[in-house]
Structure 1
Amino acid sequence: MTIQKYGSDRERFIKDLMNLMVPVKGGTIELRDYVNTDKWLSSDYTLSDPGRGSNRKVITWTETIEPFHVMKYPVTQHLYHYVLNEEEVEPNVRNLPVTEVSWLDSLAFCNELSRMLGRTECYTITSESENTIYNKTANGFRLLSDAEWQYACKAGTTGYRYAGIDQIAWYQENSNGAAQQVGKLLPNPWGLFDMIGNVWEWCWDLYDAERYGNYRVFRGGSWAEVENNCGSTSRRKSMPDFKIDDLGFRIALTKP
């Protein structure tokens, strides 16, 4: 599929899409997480994390962030299905964040969007996800890294959230049990909407290759989560083919 399929709409599509890409200046960000310090246990276990010990410690590390551009909203149902040349979605769901997409699905979408706009694809995708290659010199669309996501979410602020939760996030208490249209609550200081709550967002990174293999990171909390699970440092993991109704993604460009 090529961009020519849009005919006279081609320039409008490109313009509208690029207008949604927000420039982010470079800087540094400190990340924090818990790691399990125990070795793999036998299959005869009683712990909540199958096969692993319960000892955890906090680790912190600092990442340098190069300038990049990020979409101000999560990818919507309309954009996702339009790019993949699938059936047009109903008007009442067009601006909902796309969900039920795996990490692998999100990479495939980024590649397709890159091809449509004449950009170089960032990903070489294989059936074995751990062998998927990310070409960092490519100018195509991509997922944010774990560090980029937190840096963009915090937007220069220092707290767990950049404003009161009901002002910025759809979560268990205000979502009516479902994802909500993007852009309806307040953005963060850099103009990004729905970074916290509404849907979790896939990132490129492995969570912990030594302990969890090819599990990938997702961030931010969702409409189904309690308040405490929705914030700038909220971080979870799952298999790259995992799909669920409160997990989507957001796209980035290294260069516009």
Structure 2
Amino acid sequence: MGIRMIPVPPMGAVDDVVVDRRTGESWTVRVEPFELAEAVVTCEEWDQTLGLPSDPAFAGHPRTGVSWREAITFCNRLSIREGLEPAYEISQRIVAEPTQWRPHSEPRPDDWDVVWNHHADGYRLPSDAEWQVACRAGTTGARYGALDAIGWYAGNSGGSSRPVRLKEPNGWGLFDMLGGVWEWCWDLYDADVYGSYRIIRGGGWSDAEWSCRSGVRRKTNPAASFDDLGFRLARGAMGVAPVRPS
């Protein structure tokens, strides 16, 4: 299948600041070198990995309609296919239904338990900070180029997804980091407030220009899927303590 992986950051480990505009908090994360796919997973790559029939008309389009759970399962499937150790240990647990009324503000317990094995050499999702560093590619502004030149968004997409690699890549050779489709990240958004909701990044073909910026962080249910949400593969170790959902 030949997914092209790009080494990032190419100059070695970097420190980057992640900002949560909801709370106003910011923190610095050290990002060690890892590999990130040149483009998001396409329909063709998805179908080949899962042994499904492929539609040539959409072969190069981003594979959308994929939940976070399906994305990490795909990572493991592709790892096994290529003789690599899967990055994720996935199990399910019984979650008791509440016996009394639960406030809408209280996170619902997740019945999936996923552990990231940092020693595995298989495919995985990038962390929140890894994605941001890769997107910026050494730049410091909201975008690594003029949006019309680098990504598909509401102003130029014509109301639908477009094939990958048609726009200019960033300085490290990564395509469609902004616009095109939102991309799943590994991280929980805020477990205390939103439970199992995971971070998504990058903006999509239906979004306004404001959403397609390197610092924009959003969240959604890990079981949800949308027609402007896909994912990009990563490999390599993250230089922080392993993260395990509570």
Q: Distance in 1 between matches of 2:212 and 2:91?
A: 32
Structure 1 or 2, whichever has the larger Rg, is 1
Which sections of structure 1, spanning at least 5 residues, go unmatched? Answer: 1-12, 36-56
**Map of 2:106 onto structure 1:** none
The answer as to whether partners of 2:178 and 2:204 remain within 8 angstroms in 1 is yes
After superposition, the Cα gap between the structure-2 partners of 1:129 and 1:254, relative to the gap in structure 1 and judged at 3 Å, is farther
Deviating above 4 A after TM superposition, structure 1's stretches of 4 or more consecutive aligned residues are none
Indicate conservation of the 8 Å contact 2:43/2:58, yes or no.
Answer: yes
Matched residues in 2 for 1:126 and 1:208: separation? 21
TM (normalized to structure 1)? Answer: 0.83
CA distance in 1 between partners of 2:157 and 2:21 (Å): 29
Q: Could you tell me whether the CA contact under 8 Å between 1:28 and 1:64 is conserved in 2? A: yes
Count of residue pairs the alignment pairs up: 217
Structure-2-length-normalised TM-score: 0.86
Instruction: Give the partner amino acid of 1:239.
Output: N
Structure 2 segments unaligned to the other structure (5+ residues): 93-109, 238-246
Match status 1:177 vs 2:142: no
Counterpart-to-counterpart distance in 1, 2:153 and 2:141: 18
Of residues 188, 194, 205 in structure 1, which corresponds to 2:170?
188
Select the structure with the greater relative contact order (CA < 8 A; seq sep ≥ 6): 2
RMSD of aligned residue pairs (Cα, Å): 1.1
Given candidates 59, 69, 73, the residue that maps to 2:39 is 73
Report deviation, 1:130: 5.2
In the alignment, structure 1 residue 230 sits paired with structure 2 residue 209: no
Match for residue 27 of structure 2 among 52, 57, 61 = 61
Give the Å deviation of 1:129. Answer: 5.3
One-letter identity of the residue aligned with 1:63 = V
Q: Partners in 2 of 1:202 and 1:145 — Cα distance? A: 9
Identity %: 44
Superposed CA deviations along residues 135-172 of structure 1, whole A, max 9, x for unmatched, are 11100000000000000000000000011110001000
Question: Which has a greater percent of helix?
Answer: 1
Counterpart in the other structure of 1:91: 56
